[in-house]
């Protein structure tokens, strides 16, 4: 073996590590000793956490790079949509909701976040295929980065909502401090949903289209545009099966009603988000090998 070692220091004592100093901390990858995909993916994601943040930054930059108004779009888009829907629904259908625009916007921003981020995850997983077939990157990096970047947009879009609240003289209470917790739970839920849809969407192009249609149905099945009160009593129990109801409650109640969501809503939101994320993570990571062979 001394024959084989050409150049550097040959010390028998340091046999467990290689000769150069940087190799002392060297990571060893052994495919036969890897943890199950579910856990390995978490490890790898943590190792590349800086990449997640950079990738989220990149997404935000790219989203507005070629638009004149740039980040202003994040503010304008929900406002315009809100004005249209406010006029249509409060004037035509005449719900008896005071400050309807605040009710609408607080729920709509949540739904907007959910639909955009999940659709984008499906897109990212397909697009990142080119990259992931060249450099080893755990694909959840792209999913988590997508959620992060849309979460930032959501936070920014809360600014016009606050302004409207001030203009309308709607009470701003301390309970609004619980809104970030609701947004966090919604994000975990969105990540789970995104991973589930992306797993299917990676192999079949029409999954994304199907999901888009389902999203529209989901919007109308959730009391976002209308209040739950207008749903006839006998149908209402069906609405309680919709997890989105609880996420809406955690975010909208402090804003619109000035009180924190009920404990049951919090618990159900927590259960739904963690449950969906675990299932999504598991399905996505266990199907990881099939992504490798897609290209």
Residue span binding another protein (CB under 8 A) among the ranges 81-89, 204-212, 220-228, 276-284? 204-212
CA distance 97 to 189: 29
Q: In this chain, which of 29, 94, 96, 237 binds another protein, going by CB under 8 A?
A: 29
CB 201 within 8 Å of CB 211? yes
Helix (H) or strand (E) holding 82: helix 72-85
* Alpha-carbon torsion, ordered 270, 272, 274, 275, to 10 deg: 150
Q: What is the rounded end-to-end Cα distance, in angstroms, of the chain?
A: 42
Q: Is 16 in the site for another protein (CB under 8 A)?
A: yes
Selected from 41, 45, 55, 197, the binder of another protein by CB under 8 A is 55
How far, in Å, CA of 89 to CA of 104, rounded? 10
Please choose, out of 3-11, 100-108, 229-237, 265-273, the segment that lies near another protein by the rule CB under 8 A: 3-11
Is 229 an interacting residue with respect to another protein (CB under 8 A)? no
Answer whether 14's CB lies under 8 Å from 254's CB. Answer: no
For 274-289, the DSSP string reads: HHHHHHHHHHHHHTHH
Q: Is 206 or 233 the residue whose CB approaches another protein more closely?
A: 206
213 forms part of the interface with another protein (CB under 8 A): no
Closer Cβ to another protein, 61 or 259, answer by number: 61
CA–CA gap between residue 127 and residue 123 (Å, rounded): 6
Enumerate residues 143-202 that contact another protein by CB under 8 A. Answer: 200
Which of the stretches 117-125, 129-137, 190-198, 224-232 binds another protein when contact is defined by CB under 8 A?
129-137
Least Cα distance to 214 among 242, 249, 252, 186 occurs for 242
Question: For another protein, which residue of 79, 81, 97, 137 counts as binding (CB under 8 A)?
Answer: 137
Residue of 68, 91, 92, 134 interacting with another protein (CB under 8 A): 134
Number of Cβ within a 10 Å radius of residue 99: 15
Q: Verify binding: residue 54, another protein, rule CB under 8 A.
A: yes
Task: Point out which residues bind another protein (CB under 8 A).
Answer: 1, 4-8, 12, 15-16, 18-20, 22-23, 26-32, 47-48, 50-51, 54-55, 58, 61-62, 65-66, 130-137, 200, 203-207, 210, 288-289, 292-293
């Amino acid at each position: 073996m001394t024959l084989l070692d050409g150049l550097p220091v040959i010390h028998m004592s340091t046999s467990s590590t290689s000769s150069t100093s940087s190799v002392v901390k060297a990571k060893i990858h052994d495919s036969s000793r890897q943890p199950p995909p579910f856990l390995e993916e978490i490890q790898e994601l943590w190792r590349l956490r800086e990449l997640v943040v950079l990738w989220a930054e990149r997404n935000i930059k790219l989203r507005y790079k070629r638009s004149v108004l740039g980040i202003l779009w994040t503010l304008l888009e929900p406002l315009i949509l809100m004005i249209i829907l406010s006029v249509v629904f409060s004037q035509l259908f005449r719900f008896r909701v005071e400050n309807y625009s605040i009710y609408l916007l607080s729920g709509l921003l949540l739904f907007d976040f959910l639909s955009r981020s999940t659709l984008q995850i499906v897109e990212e997983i397909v697009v990142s295929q080119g990259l992931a077939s060249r450099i080893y990157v755990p694909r959840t990096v792209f999913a988590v980065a997508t959620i992060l970047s849309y979460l930032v947009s959501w936070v920014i879009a809360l600014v016009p909502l606050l302004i409207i609240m001030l203009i309308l003289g709607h009470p701003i209470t301390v309970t609004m401090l619980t809104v970030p917790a609701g947004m966090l739970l919604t994000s975990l839920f969105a990540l789970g949903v995104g991973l589930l849809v992306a797993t299917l969407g990676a192999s079949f192009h029409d999954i994304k289209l199907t999901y888009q249609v389902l999203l529209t149905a989901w919007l109308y099945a959730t009391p976002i545009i209308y209040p739950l009160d207008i749903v006839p009593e006998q149908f209402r129990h069906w609405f309680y099966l919709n997890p989105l109801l609880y996420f809406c409650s955690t975010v909208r109640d402090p804003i619109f009603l000035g009180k924190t969501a009920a404990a049951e809503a919090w618990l159900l939101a927590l259960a739904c988000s963690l449950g969906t994320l675990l299932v999504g993570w598991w399905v996505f990571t266990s199907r990881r090998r099939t992504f490798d062979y897609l290209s």
